[in-house]
């Protein structure tokens, strides 16, 4: 049975959706890192930070779902 990392590596090669989600997640992570460099955030920046965090989590959740689905399809 495949582990999470092995399934992720296969999906990177075989799934356009997974690759796209991974790239979007990386970009959101970088945007969040830029915001987090600031000592103080304006209320607008706080809202933007929360928005980015939620989007990043949504991408990560979908990637995890694709991994679960792939592993499930391989075990049948």
Reported as half-sphere exposure (CB side, CA atoms, 13 A), residue 38 has a value of 11
For residue 13, give every residue at least 6 positions away whose Cβ sits within 8 Å of its Cβ, in sequence order, or none. Answer: none
- Supply the pTM of this predicted model: 0.89
pLDDT one-digit tens code per residue, 28-73? 999 999 999 999 999 999 999 999 999 999 999 999 999 999 999 9
Question: Shortest CA distance to 63 belongs to which of 13, 18, 6?
Answer: 18
């Amino acid at each position: 049975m495949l582990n999470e990392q092995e399934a992720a590596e296969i999906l990177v090669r075989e799934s356009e959706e997974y690759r796209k989600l991974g790239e979007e997640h990386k970009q959101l992570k970088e945007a969040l890192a830029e915001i987090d460099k600031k000592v103080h955030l304006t209320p607008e920046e706080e809202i933007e930070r929360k928005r980015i965090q939620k989007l990043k989590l949504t991408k990560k959740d979908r990637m995890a779902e694709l991994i679960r689905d792939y592993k499930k399809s391989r075990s049948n």
